[in-house]
Amino acid sequence: MPQQFKITVVGCGGTGAFVAEGLCRLLIGSDIPLLLIDHDRVEPHNLLRQNFYEGDLGKFKSQALAERLSRQFRRRIAYSVYPFMPDLIGESFGGGLRSLAIQGIIIGCVDNADARRQIGESLRIGNWWLDAGNGFSSGQVLLGSARSIELLGSPFVKETKEVEHLPMPSWQLPSLLAPPTTKKRDNRDCAEAVAAEEQSPVINQAMAALVLEFICRLLNKKLTWMGAYIDLDAGALQTVPAEPEVVARLCGVKVDTLFRKDCPIGNRYSLERR
């Protein structure tokens, strides 16, 4: 992680709103900055299944959550009412120097390929992208940081049993960036899909719980997964281990090329295509 990293939630609707509140509980006693991004406003149908109330109607979702959760948990929460932008600017250090607001962990709770593509293109060294996506009663959570074999390098450290990079979500599941095969009817969001019985009324809360489990384990350096798939109908949870053999199959490389090699002049990483 960057020395001064942040946790950013992109998309504060069905899953993102529950994730935002869960993060505030998870981060009690921590000063890790939290940034919420969503340009949609709270509408009446959102009150049925999303984490909003009548007093939030008309407000931007990111604004409503930031104001309520900052009062409830007594912490500073930043928010943006603009669509996600890779060059979003953070605090000023003076003298024209500014910190980047998008750094650390980016949690994507969006439902379209364009938004995911923007997140993927914004990843910088040290950043992690955790993507959550779902259908009627199933979904997946995927974690990664590298968009190419060159940036992935040799991420596994045998001595500490740690991994420094993983293939980003859209590399693990390329269909995340594929345009929908059928047009989304009436541009419905998650809440409208629930009302039309096109989405389970509890899938977003289940996805949020899974996202929070990833974050909790990641912050405590106990995360051993790079992905997890949930199916409420089948009552099943399938995790994907972050192991060299799994990453090697995904990337089409030899396992031994994924281990960091030390030498007398320091750490050396192979950046050649394998």
- Please state the three-class secondary structure of the chain as a single string: CCCCCEEEEECCCCCHHHHHHHHHHHCCCCCCCEEEECCCECCHHHHCCCCCCHHHCCCEHHHHHHHHHHHHHCCCEEEECCCCCCCCEEEEEECCEEEECCCEEEEECCCCHHHHHHHHHHCCCCCEEEEEEECCCEEEEEEECECCHHHHCCCEECCCCEECCCECHHHHCHHHHCCCCCCCHHHCCHHHHHHCCCCCCCHHHHHHHHHHHHHHHHHCCCCCEEEEEEECCCCEEEEEECCHHHHHHHHCCCHHHHECEEECCEEECCCCCC
Cα–Cα distance, 12 to 63 (Å, whole number): 10
Residue 226 resides in a domain: yes
pLDDT bracket for residue 101 (50, 70, 90) = confident
Indicate whether 100 pLDDT > 90: no
Residue 89 resides in a domain: yes
Residue 272 resides in a domain: no
Torsion 7-13-19-23 (CA) sign: positive
Cα–Cα distance, 50 to 18 (Å, whole number): 8
Indicate whether 267 pLDDT > 60: no
Q: State residue 181's pLDDT score.
A: 62
Cα–Cα distance, 191 to 193 (Å, whole number): 5
pLDDT bracket for residue 274 (50, 70, 90) = very low
For residue 6, list its beta bridge partners.
Answer: 104
pLDDT tens per residue across span 25-69: 999 999 899 999 999 999 999 998 899 999 999 999 999 999 999
Indicate whether 73 pLDDT > 80: yes
Residue 161 resides in a domain: yes
Residue 23's nearest CA partner among 9, 5, 39 is 9
Residue 257 resides in a domain: no
Angle at alpha carbon of residue 18, lines to 57 and 65, rounded to 5°: 40
Residue 163 resides in a domain: yes
Which residue reads 């384990």 in tokens?
217
Residue 37 resides in a domain: yes
Total number of domains in the chain: 1
Give yes or no for a contact between 81 and 39, defined as CB atoms under 8 angstroms apart. Answer: yes
Cα–Cα distance, 121 to 36 (Å, whole number): 19
CATH of the domain at 167: 3.40.50.720
How many Cα atoms are found within 13 Å in the side-chain-facing hemisphere of 151? 18
pLDDT tens per residue across span 148-200: 999 999 999 999 889 999 999 999 999 999 876 655 555 556 656 555 557 88
Measured from the Cβ of residue 67, the count of other Cβ atoms closer than 10 Å reads: 15
Range of the domain at 220: 6-243
Q: Which two tokens stand for residue 234?
A: 């089948």
Residue 204 resides in a domain: yes
Span 100-107, mean pLDDT? 85
Mean pLDDT for the chain? 87
Q: What are phi and psi of 3, to 5 degrees?
A: -60, -40
Share of the chain above pLDDT 70, in %: 84
Give yes or no for a contact between 203 and 136, defined as CB atoms under 8 angstroms apart. Answer: yes
Q: State residue 106's pLDDT score.
A: 95
Q: What are phi and psi of 249, to 5 degrees?
A: -65, -40
Q: State residue 124's pLDDT score.
A: 83
